[in-house]
Amino acid sequence: MKNIAVIGAGTMGNGIAHTFAQFNYKVHLIDISDVALQKGLATITKNLDRMLAKEKISEADKTKTLNNITTFTKISKGVANMDLVVEAATENAVLKAKIFKELDEVCDEKTILATNTSSISITQIAGVTSRPEKVIGMHFMNPVPIMKLVEIIRGYNTTDEITNVIVELSKKIGKIPVEVNDYPGFVANRILMPMINESIETLYNGVAGVAEIDTVMKLGMAHPMGPLQLADFIGLDVCLSILQVMYDGFKNPKYAPCPLLVNMVNAGKLGVKSGEGFYDYSENRKAEVVAKMFS
């Protein structure tokens, strides 16, 4: 397995592409627009430069990584002859179903289809294909080149063979795979998102301010980043989407998104990517946050 296609050049997609390419896999990075692809490549280049400055990689490593990535604006061309396709599009069940239907039609029979979904049922996604046994979840953590964990989620029909292939592949790119079952939010977000949501509720109810809530969690619970700052980094729209998936899946009010989170997303305050969330991010500040994650 040496040929990997990644669908989506956003934060997660370009990070996944970066990681596979750095480990000398041939990567096809696919997005619907050249603008998105160029932005994704620019992000990969900046992150490689940070790693180079910290002597974590060499100039040759950087060049090799970038040379291993080819961009495409059409799925049908980008996934031809690929061993694995990793979908990293927006966390939207309808969009993912549409993508997987197309992938099933245009990919080789041998191609494994993976999704980086952080909450949506693998079984549901696999159900739109004629190869549910070859569909699996690979939930990478952000920033992908740095974070070690990959949640491996098998759908109802995913075979042991496919699961073992993806587990071993994850190890080969320096990750630690952890197998979890296919329930809304899996493990990481089933625990993380209620904590973030409760932190927003704490702010919403006037118990403490943003900096105070984050400081308590950093100093009192030894978290490297406070939950509100982490929500900004993840994207408040993503947090809202995951909570909605869990609320719909479990019908449990403890997963209901805080009204403040809903209002902020409706107002376009999405965190780092929009320039403002619970904190205010100028361009310089945004660069600082990303640089810190690669330190």
- Told to judge if 81 belongs to the known catalytic residues of this protein, a careful annotator would answer no
The single residue listed with the structure tokens 């739109």 is 128
Instruction: Pick out the residues of the known binding site.
Output: 8-13, 31, 91, 96, 118, 142, 273
Instruction: Pick out the residues of the known binding site for NAD(+).
Output: 8-13, 31, 91, 96, 118, 142, 273
Looking at residue 141, its amino acid is M
Judged on CB neighbours under 10 Å (0-12, 13-18, 19+), 159 is: middle
DSSP state at residue 226 = -
Of 159, 141, 161, 160, residue with least CA distance to 150: 141
- Told to judge if 58 belongs to the known catalytic residues of this protein, a careful annotator would answer no
Sign of CA dihedral 216, 217, 222, 227: negative
Q: 118, 119, 121, 197: which one is catalytic?
A: 118
- Told to judge if 139 belongs to the known catalytic residues of this protein, a careful annotator would answer yes
Backbone phi and psi for residue 72, each to the nearest 5 degrees, phi listed first: -145, 150
Q: 28, 133, 139, 199: which one is catalytic?
A: 139
Q: Both tokens of residue 140?
A: 């990478």
Q: Both tokens of residue 294?
A: 């690669």
Find all residues with CB under 8 Å of 243, minimum gap 6, and list them: 193, 197, 255, 256, 257, 261
Q: 133, 151, 170, 276: which one is catalytic?
A: 151
- Told to judge if 118 belongs to the known catalytic residues of this protein, a careful annotator would answer yes
Q: 14, 121, 189, 241: which one is catalytic?
A: 189
Find all residues with CB under 8 Å of 11, minimum gap 6, and list them: 43, 142, 143, 235, 273
Q: Catalytic positions, please? A: 118, 139, 151, 189
